[in-house]
Structure 1
């Protein structure tokens, strides 16, 4: 899965539409049973009948490989259909696929209007993709004056990785890093469910950047990051416990945290990927 697409492709959102059709209700029931193959059949029928949400949800199933092998080209086709029928998140996901070449030939010129449109309608993923495009990460002239407020807006309307990216930018400033501001953005990422945000906030607390050194807070944040699927958070947790900073050294707990980090990295335990810097 490329770059930021995990953040862009959310779970199916059957409950987001009032007055669900019979096919959508049956798809919802099938997903409740985790019978994704059956759900895909009902979503396909709903999509063929002109249901934008059915097309959108079907794109998610295709992209994530929930109803069979992943088929990124089919995901793009269903995202296009959803977008044409008025589903803004379908537009955002199609724009992202075009931006990254995820299942379709990369084409930032075609991606840009889709991302702009979805961002105008307050799609967090659309705004995030647009911000990255404006930063020049996918070719073309960089326009940080436009990209920065779009990135911050993406964070404010719920895109946790946008929050993390803004915090990272402030923490890595070539001049004097603004640790207080970086911590604020990392905190938003952490509260948004991004394990890397919790880990980054823990690092600041442990190193006393943006405030006094606070090992207890760092420990809480590393534990939260580790439990949420951050291998780096687990490793930091293990190191902190192994140092005995907050009391007697606990080798067993430290080894367990390091082992969990290895299991996440190997795919034995589901984890969150590290966001792009």
Structure 2
């Protein structure tokens, strides 16, 4: 291994964190390398998010990879996720690798891997757009008690996304999502017909509830341009120049108050300049009102690692 326990100890010794939390991260890493592969993802998360040790994407990737090789499906899903992100997450950006790791996690019974795989097919990321395939993976994740996946399938039926419209089935799936903890679904199940109608009115034809692909005639994805690309790349560098939460959120507030316009894909990219999910939520919430393509909101939750963060973002943006 390129990085081992000695490197972990050095990183812990130089990190400005509480000794107790740092020791917990070290214990997870030691357990991971000792064969407790279920602990690898927890150690990887600590290094990726910087919650208890100094951020190290390379070390996080090593821990995720070690856990996945040992059969921990949560680690496999994490490998898929970091391969899907912008460069700088410890591995090269590769949608084919994302697909491979998500498929491993899904086959291994990890619901979030199936959900992410469904989104790749639904939105055509690294694979041709295929609503039937996307739906099949969403349904598989829903069967594994993944709340967001159940809500996705509900909207597929409520909005007749490649299937016959079925409000009864939509209502049942929204209730299931609600029972599994999706608070938005709890509100929507009161009036599923109204929820589907509002989604159609707000987004036009072609997207499922919170995570489907925007589509135009014939179901082809529509690419929406926000800020011109040269200006946007300069903006990305400004966010990367100082990744402290205070600096990034202050910059986001300045942009929002200055009337900047961004596509949802651009907002998601700016969110990913932070390694911390809570900061990403703040950036997404602040910049969301400046989106020129609100129908593509589903891209923002995809920029987050944790389900709790996704739920918080939806609550704060009114989704």
> Where on the TM-score scale, by shorter chain, does this alignment land: which range?
0.5 to 0.7
Distance 1:199 1:138 in 2: 31
- Residues 123-158 of structure 1, C-alpha deviations (whole Å, 9 max, x = no match): 111101111122234725312222211111111112
1:190, CA displacement in angstroms?
Answer: 0.9
Q: Which one of 173, 190, 201 corresponds to residue 153 of structure 2?
A: 201
| Partner residue, 2:188 | 236
- Residues 199-224 of structure 1, C-alpha deviations (whole Å, 9 max, x = no match): 11101011111311111111110011
Please tell me whether the aligned partners of residues 99 and 138 of structure 1 are also in contact (alpha carbons under 8 angstroms): no
| Partner residue, 1:115 | 64
Consecutive unaligned residues of structure 1, counting only runs of 5 or more, are 1-70, 246-271
1:100, CA displacement in angstroms?
Answer: 2.2
Return the index of the structure with the highest Cα Rg.
1
| Partner residue, 2:75 | 126
| Partner residue, 2:296 | none
Distance 1:188 1:90 in 2: 25
1:239, CA displacement in angstroms?
Answer: 2.4
Distance 1:242 1:133 in 2: 37
Consecutive unaligned residues of structure 2, counting only runs of 5 or more, are 1-19, 198-306, 315-319
Distance 2:22 2:144 in 1: 30
Q: CA, structure 1 residues 83+130, in 2 after alignment: closer, same or farther (shift >3 Å)?
A: same
| Partner residue, 2:140 | 188
The TM-score normalised by the length of structure 2 is 0.51
Distance 2:59 2:180 in 1: 35
Aligned-partner SS, 1:196: helix
Root-mean-square deviation (CA, aligned residues, Å) is 2.7
2:43 pairs with 1:91: no
Mapping for residues 148-163 of structure 1, pairs under 5 Å: 148-163=99-114
Please tell me whether the aligned partners of residues 164 and 189 of structure 1 are also in contact (alpha carbons under 8 angstroms): yes
| Partner residue, 2:119 | 168
Aligned-partner SS, 1:211: coil
Please tell me whether the aligned partners of residues 116 and 127 of structure 1 are also in contact (alpha carbons under 8 angstroms): yes
Please tell me whether the aligned partners of residues 183 and 210 of structure 1 are also in contact (alpha carbons under 8 angstroms): no
Q: CA, structure 1 residues 176+82, in 2 after alignment: closer, same or farther (shift >3 Å)?
A: closer
2:161 pairs with 1:212: no
| Partner residue, 2:228 | none
1:119, CA displacement in angstroms?
Answer: 0.8
Distance 2:167 2:189 in 1: 11
Please tell me whether the aligned partners of residues 205 and 213 of structure 1 are also in contact (alpha carbons under 8 angstroms): yes
1:96, CA displacement in angstroms?
Answer: 2.3
Distance 1:126 1:98 in 2: 13
Distance 2:101 2:28 in 1: 23
| Partner residue, 2:84 | 135
Please tell me whether the aligned partners of residues 108 and 138 of structure 1 are also in contact (alpha carbons under 8 angstroms): no
Distance 1:163 1:206 in 2: 21
The TM-score normalised by the length of structure 1 is 0.58
